[in-house]
Amino acid sequence: MAKKIAQVLIILLAMAVLAACGNDNADDNNGNNNSGDEIVAGPTPPTIVIQQQQVQATPTPTPQTADPQVIEPHELTRTDFIADLVYFLDALDADFLHFGIVYRRFGVDFRQNAAELLDIIADENFEIDLDIFTQLMLDNFFMHPDITYSVAGWHFDGQSQRSDGFVGTSGHVETRVLEEGRIGYIRINCFNLRGLGAPGNATRTVENFLSQTADFEHMIIDIRGVDGNPATEPWIDALILPNITEDIIRQRVYMFMRETFRFAAGVHPLPVSPITRMFDVLPVELDLELGLVSVRYSWVSIMPPLDATPFAGQIWLLIDGGVGGVPARFADLAAYAGVATLVGQPIGGDMSAPDIFVVDGEAVIRHIVYDPPAWQLPNTQIPFAFHTFLLTDHLGRAADEYVTQPHVLVPDDVDALEYLLEMIWS
C-alpha cells in the first residue's frame, strides 16, 4: 500500500512540474493569459527551484586576456657596436665605388679609419654607448672634418656635408642692378623649384629682369652654396639655352655600376654588360679595377630655342665648394657650352646627370634623380645611404673627383663677388 501511495505522489509531482512549465510557455507566447478559471500550479519543490536558480545564476565564463608583455629595449653591447661597424664596412666594400676618389681628393682612407675604429671600440677600457658610436661614425666617415663635400650622395644618421638645398627666407631668386646701365646681378637661392607656380614665377622674374637689362655689359649669376636634386631643372631653360651660340652642343656622360648591388634589402643583379665589349676605345681614365660591368650613358644634347635672344654682354657665374647636385650640373653645362665665365672656387661635387635631348627644335630636359639606396645598421638601427653608381665624363673621369673648376680662381679669404667687381671696374 505504501508503495502505491509513493507512486501516486511522484505522478502528482510530475504533473505539477509540467503544469508550471506549460504556464511559462503560455506566458512567453501570449503574455499573461490566465482567465482565472484555470488551475494554478502549486509552488515548485525547493530542491527543483534551487537547482534552476543555480543554473540561471551561473555566468558564462569570460576568456581571460593575458597581461600585455612589456618589451624592454635592447641594451646595446660592445659586441653590437662592433658588428654594426663591420656591417657598415661590408656595405661599403660591396657597393661604394668612391674609396679611391675620397682618398685622392680629401686624403681620407675609409678602410684605415674602420680598422682603427674597430680597435678603439673593442678596447674594454673604452666607454661606448649609442651617442658615442654615432659621433665616431660621423667623425671617421661621412662628416670627417677633412671632407669638405659629400661624395656619392651619402648621408649617415640623416646628416651629410650637403646643405640639402634652399633654407633661406628671401625667395627662390633675387635680382638687382649693381651699376645702372652696366652690371646686373641674379642670385639663385634655390634649384629645387617645387610647388604650385614656383618654377614659372621664379623663371619669369629672371626673364623680365633680363629683358630690362638686355643692353647691359655684364650679367652676374650667383649660385654659391646652392645644392639640391629637384625633379625638374628650369634654370637651364632660362639661362643656358637662350645663350648658346652654336646650333647644337652635345656632351656625353657615363654611369657605371657593378654586376650586383644591395638596394635596401637583398642583392639585386643587373644585366651583365662587360665594359670591354661596349667601347671600341675605352674611356682613358676609367678605373677598371673597380669591377664595373654595367654602363648607362647619356647624350646631353642642347640647342637654343628658335625665338631665343641671347644676352649681348658678358655672363659671369659665381661658384664655390657648396655647389652640388643639380646646381653642379648647371655650372658644368654652362662652362662646357661656353655660356659663362666661372669665377670663385671649384664646385663641391655629387653632380646629377640629366638627360637633355631635342624634340622639334626645342630642348627638353628629362632629369633623372637617383636617390641613394637606404640601409640600416642591424643593431643600432642607424640609417645610412650612398649612391651605388659611378658618374664619369666622356673620358671616364669621375665627376666627384674631377669637379668643375672656375675659369677665374678666387683666393679662399676673398669674396668672389667683390673680386669680380674689382676685375670689371679696373
Cα–Cα distance list, 386 to 91, 161, 289, 350 (Å): 10, 12, 20, 11
End-to-end CA distance of the chain: 147
More confident residue, 382 or 360: 382
More confident residue, 190 or 139: 139
Residue 249 has pLDDT above 80, yes or no: yes
More confident residue, 392 or 12: 392
Q: Please give the CATH topology (third level) of the domain spanning 173-372+387-425.
A: 2-enoyl-CoA Hydratase; Chain A, domain 1 (3.90.226)
Mean pLDDT of the region 22-32: 41
Give tens-digit pLDDT for 94-118.
Answer: 889 999 999 999 999 999 999 999 9
Residue 402 has pLDDT above 50, yes or no: yes
Report the chain's mean pLDDT, rounded to a whole number. 77
Nearest to 246 by CA among 318, 310, 330: 310
Pairing of strands 173-179, 183-188: antiparallel
- What is the pTM assigned to this prediction? 0.73
Q: What is the pLDDT of residue 97?
A: 92
Domain ranges of the chain: 78-156, 173-372+387-425
Nearest to 300 by CA among 354, 342, 254: 354
3-state secondary structure 127-183: CCCHHHHHHHHHHHCCCCCCCCCCCCCCEECCECCCCCCCCCCCCCEEEEEEECCCE
